[in-house]
């Protein structure tokens, strides 16, 4: 039994490779070969594609950023142009307003001048009517006064006209002398 124990111990020595070890080693090698041939290449391909997609997304993001900056600059330029255009339109409106005001002022002055001339003409017509009315009134008063002074009636129209004309001439002479 001692020899059997030694033989059994020799068989149980873990440092000595046995048949199962080689089978396990062969199975492991087949598994590594299957993984290396069929599993790892698609994983590497997917990882490479993902890295490329990420790189492309970063490139697209940089391009979108530059386009956004260009669009922002264009927008700012358009706003500046719009402000300049608005300022120009305001200035034109001011000039047109000043022209309209000047034109209306001229029209108002012309209308005022026309009204003043019309008023002067009306005043002159009223003055002439008043002079005629006063001449008639003064003439009749002068005739009746002269008739009372003279003591006879001055009923004759021709005589009455001469007396009135003479009286008015004397009035005009005294008014011109003073």
pLDDT tens digits, 92-130? 999 999 999 999 999 999 999 999 999 999 998 888 888
Sorted by where each begins, the domain ranges of the chain are: 24-170
Dihedral of CA 22/27/29/30: which sign?
A: positive
pTM over cut 0.85: no
Cα–Cα distance measured from residue 135 to residue 129, given in angstroms and rounded to the nearest whole number: 10
Structure-token pair, residue 136: 């008639």
DSSP code per residue over 75-97: HHHHHHHHHHHHHHHHHHHHHHH
- % of the chain surpassing 90 pLDDT: 57
Asked if residue 105 lies in contact with residue 112, where contact means CB atoms within 8 angstroms, the answer is no
Closest alpha carbon to 103 in 95, 87, 117, 116? 95
Say how many C-beta atoms besides its own lie within 10 A of residue 163's C-beta: 19
Band the pLDDT of 132: cuts 50, 70, 90: confident
| Burial class, 143, CB count within 10 angstroms (exposed 0-12 / middle 13-18 / buried 19+) | buried
On average, the pLDDT of the chain sits at: 84
Asked if residue 160 lies in contact with residue 142, where contact means CB atoms within 8 angstroms, the answer is no
> Which tens digit of pLDDT belongs to each residue from 31-58?
999 999 999 999 999 999 999 999 999 9
From residue 4, give the alpha-carbon distance in Å to each of 11, 17, 18, 20, 100. Answer: 10, 20, 18, 22, 133
pLDDT of 172 reads: 77
Residue 154, pLDDT above cutoff 60: no
Asked if residue 138 lies in contact with residue 167, where contact means CB atoms within 8 angstroms, the answer is yes
| Burial class, 147, CB count within 10 angstroms (exposed 0-12 / middle 13-18 / buried 19+) | middle
List own/partner pairs for 80-83 with CB under 8 A and 24 or more apart. Answer: none
Cα–Cα distance measured from residue 177 to residue 140, given in angstroms and rounded to the nearest whole number: 25
């Amino acid at each position: 039994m001692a020899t059997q124990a030694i033989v059994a111990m020799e068989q149980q020595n873990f440092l000595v490779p046995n048949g199962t070890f080689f089978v396990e080693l062969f199975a492991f090698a087949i598994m590594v070969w299957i993984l290396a041939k069929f599993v790892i290449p698609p994983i590497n391909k997917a990882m490479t594609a993902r890295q490329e997609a990420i790189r492309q997304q970063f490139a697209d993001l940089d391009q979108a950023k530059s386009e956004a900056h260009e669009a922002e600059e264009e927008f700012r330029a358009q706003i500046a142009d719009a402000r300049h255009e608005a300022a120009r339109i305001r200035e034109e409106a001011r000039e047109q307003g000043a022209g309209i005001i000047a034109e209306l002022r001229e029209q108002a002055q012309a209308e005022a001048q026309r009204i003043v001339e019309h008023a002067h003409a009306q005043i002159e017509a009223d003055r002439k009517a008043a002079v005629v009315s006063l001449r008639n009134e003064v003439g009749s008063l002068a005739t009746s006064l002269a008739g009372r002074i003279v003591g006879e009636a001055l009923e004759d129209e021709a005589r009455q006209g001469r007396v009135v004309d003479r009286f008015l001439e004397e009035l005009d002479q005294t008014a011109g002398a003073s």
